[in-house]
Structure 1
Amino acid sequence: MEEVAVLSGLVLGQFLCAGNSAMLNYLQNLGLPSSSIVIFSSIATFLLLSPPSIYFERDKWPKKPSFKLLVFLVLVSLGGVTLFQSFLLKGMKLTSPTMANALQNLSPAIIFVIAIAFSLEKVKLENIYTKVKIAGTLLCVSGAVTMSIFKSATQITNLENIILDSDKIIGCLYLVASSVSLSFAIVLQALILIEYQAPVSLCAITAIIGVFIASVIELVTNHKVETGLLMVNSIELIGYYLLVGTINGSMISINLWAMKKKGPVFVSMFSPLSAVISAFISYFTLGETFSIGSLVGMFIMFAGLYFFLWAKGKEEDPCEVATKDLTIENDMEKPLIL
């Protein structure tokens, strides 16, 4: 049942991810500054997640947070909240939501490499399951990018202008930077969750730290923090930020809970599903069609995901995983990070 719950949660998280991308694009189209979207939606996330984190996870909080924990939290907030969302919004504005979805699908491959470096993922090149995991990751990323590119190609009228457009190139660099920053943040979250098993609390804490970081950056660069009230009336603006904060907080909490169970690479392999979900939503709501290339890319992506999950399941030792979880649950008095 836990396996079913994790898989269902990750699929639900990708529906939320698709909805979050749509909302961010909508807010930008209203003329709201990227900085205000990051700051006020993160405040909403903190306010909405604080009550459940206090009620359900207070007994899991470390009694004496170490300096290393505080550094990790700041780094996660910087990479996963401030830099990721800022780069994503800037890149989306200069390119398109479709291109943003395409380049965000690079995350599984980046996380796989980083997780290997931090010893969070087993790699034995002579092992058949490791080879299948690597092949599955590459297939999943390639299929998702292919699907998104073919989908966006139907909207291109002048390929030469797209290629030579400096704004598009800069936008793509922003999107790649957002994937890299998010990937590092996810791996750091996994390191924290090894001992600090409070995913909702972690999401709330990093959200509010991210608010302070983003506010300081905005004050230093522009000497003010814009609210967006000149573009949208206050009631609507509060509603938009609360909606984005709810979607974003729920999505991250689900992913962190699943990461605690399965690790960062397993969770990241589901991120390309958001591109498929967005494509189907566009098909039913906007009447957009699927090209042959998009369907082929979708098939390759699901094949890669299946191969990875199969290899991961064969590689894990259920007794070892159960023992590890039991040890962590019964040893909450240890320092958070040694």
Structure 2
Amino acid sequence: MAFEGCELMTSYRRFKPHLLMVLAQMGYTFLYFITEASFNHGMNPHVYITYRHIVSGLVMLPFAYFLERKLRPKLTLALFVEIFVLSLLGVSVTLNMYFASLRYTSPTFIASMVNTIASLTFIIAVVLRQVYSNHQRIETYRMENLDIRNTRGMAKVVGTIVSLAGVMTMTLYKGPVIRNVWGALIHIQGNSTIHENWLKGSILTAASCITWSTWYIMQAVTLKKYPAQLSLTTWMSFVGGAQSAVFTAFVQHKPSAWKFGFNIDFWSIIYGGVVCSGLIIFIQLWCTEKRGPVFVTMFNPLSTILVAFLAYFVLGERLYTGSILGGFIVIVGLYVVLWGKEGDQTPLVKSDAESSSDYEEQKESKING
């Protein structure tokens, strides 16, 4: 009985990052619907980004201050500049470009392009590893290890290509529509103020995907210098919120745009700030430190699949066979990549144990000191 309990606990520790990332994608799924309702209600997307990260910073601050009070490294000017750039890539620039591109393209196009982040992150991580292959600390940054002569290494490449093919299938191939046997349970009023400009929208979307991928890679580097995930999440929220406020002040000159009532706008800000910019970012930082940036981004397509099915069953939107086929292909590709990445964990076990030991020694010395 004790042996079974030990085995269960070992399996839990092994698959804890997988479970957390699935829960994170579920959180992003609900964000899609609540923000769509808020934007259609009149909330300015850039104002929303600003408020959302201010709320996130205020919520995460007490946890970061008390739980990591004795563990935070000293914040130097160089480290603050790194956090400033990290906030710029992951919060203000990326999200503002992402929501701006929604004005010129379609949600389906955006969803498909965002899912290429996993492939972009994989490519950037592999390139960085090749460039810095002689760097002794490259393993500690969780840069992607790729050996195509190895079965698991080849699985990463094949899985990434298969997952990308699934994303493209969901976007480019519709197929027969699946009839909905019941009406919509929830109605979200559509927005008629969209102005199509596919060239501008495509450029903004591609740029946001590149900065997002770079952000995931940079997280792994910054976490080694500043391993306090709660504090890093708080800093990114406040700095990113301030950057977004400056940007919004330039593009939105109406004071009325900053006002919101106790309605869907309020709840979208609270949900986005507490769950997505607070809890989920913290989860992603933790998983990035444990498994690397590619592992985190490989779960992104799950939210697109969940959105499609939830939109069908709850909102009564059309569901095409192409979406089901593409979703199945994405899941197969995701599974293949994760299987390939399992081979990376063996040589890193000792490193993780040593890091954990150093962390505990540092914690004990600081508390005793």
**What is the TM-score with the length of structure 2 in the denominator?**
0.79
Q: Is the 8 A contact 1:57 1:198 kept in 2?
A: yes
Q: CA deviation at 1:68?
A: 2.9
1:147 aligns with 2:170: yes
Distance in structure 1 (CA, Å) of the matches to 2:241 and 2:89: 12
Distance 1:105 1:70, change over 3 A: same
| Match in the other structure for 1:192 | 222
1:168 is aligned to: 198
Aligned to 1:70: 80
| Cα distance in structure 1, aligned partners of 2:165 and 2:196 | 25
Tell me the distance in 2 between the aligned counterparts of 1:149 and 1:92.
Answer: 18
Residue in 1 aligned with 2:331? Answer: 302
Aligned: 1:95 with 2:105: yes
Cα pair 1:35 1:226 within 8 Å, conserved: no
Q: Distance in 1 between matches of 2:328 and 2:150?
A: 26
1:242 and 1:43 mapped to 2: Cα distance? Answer: 10
Q: Secondary structure at the match of 2:257?
A: coil
Identity of matched residues, %: 26
Residues 294 and 240 of structure 1: is their aligned pair in 2 closer, same or farther, counting only changes over 3 Å?
closer
Change (3 A) 1:209 1:293: same
* Residues matched between the structures, number: 320
- Determine whether 1:132 maps to 2:143: no
Q: Which residue, out of 101, 106, 118, partners 1:108? A: 118
Two-structure CA RMSD over aligned residues (Å): 2.5
Q: In structure 1, what residue type is equivalent to 2:36?
A: N
Q: Deviations over 1:266-308 (max 9, x none)?
A: 1110011000110111121023343232222112111111111
Task: Kindly provide the amino acid, as one letter, of the partner of residue 315 in structure 1.
Answer: D
Give me the whole-angstrom Cα distance separating, in 1, the residues matched to 2:80 and 2:361.
20
How far apart are the structure 2 equivalents of 1:225 and 1:205?
A: 28
Cα distance change of structure 1 residues 18 and 223 upon mapping to structure 2, 3 Å threshold: closer
Match of residue 232, structure 2, among 202, 207, 211: 202
Contact 1:28–1:93 (8 Å) recurs in 2? no
2:148–2:154: 8 Å Cα contact kept in structure 1?
yes
Q: 1:274 to 1:152 in 2, by over 3 A?
A: farther
Q: Distance in 2 between matches of 1:90 and 1:212?
A: 18
Whether contact under 8 Å (2:54, 2:237) holds in the other structure is yes
Change in CA separation of 1:133 and 1:331 when aligned onto 2, cut-off 3 Å? farther
Deviation readout 1:236-263 (Å, 9 max, x if unpaired): 6444322221221222111111111111
CA deviation map 1:115-143 (0-9, x unaligned): 22333111233333222111111211221
Aligned to 1:242: 270
CA 32–153 in structure 1, closer or farther in 2 if over 3 Å, else same: farther
Q: Is the 8 A contact 1:21 1:97 kept in 2?
A: no
Structure 2: gaps spanning 5 or more residues: 1-11, 130-142, 178-194, 364-369
For normalisation by structure 1, the TM-score amounts to 0.86
Residue 70 of structure 2 aligns to a residue in which SS?
A: helix
Distance 2:327 2:263 in 1: 40
* Alpha carbons 2:104, 2:196 under 8 Å: kept: no
Aligned to 2:316, which of 287, 292, 313?
287
Q: Which moved more, 1:287-296 or 1:184-193?
A: 287-296
Describe the superposition over 1:187-240 as per-residue Cα deviations: whole angstroms up to 9, x where unpaired: 111111124222222111101101221222334x3485756356x436664443
Structure 1 partner of 2:72: 61
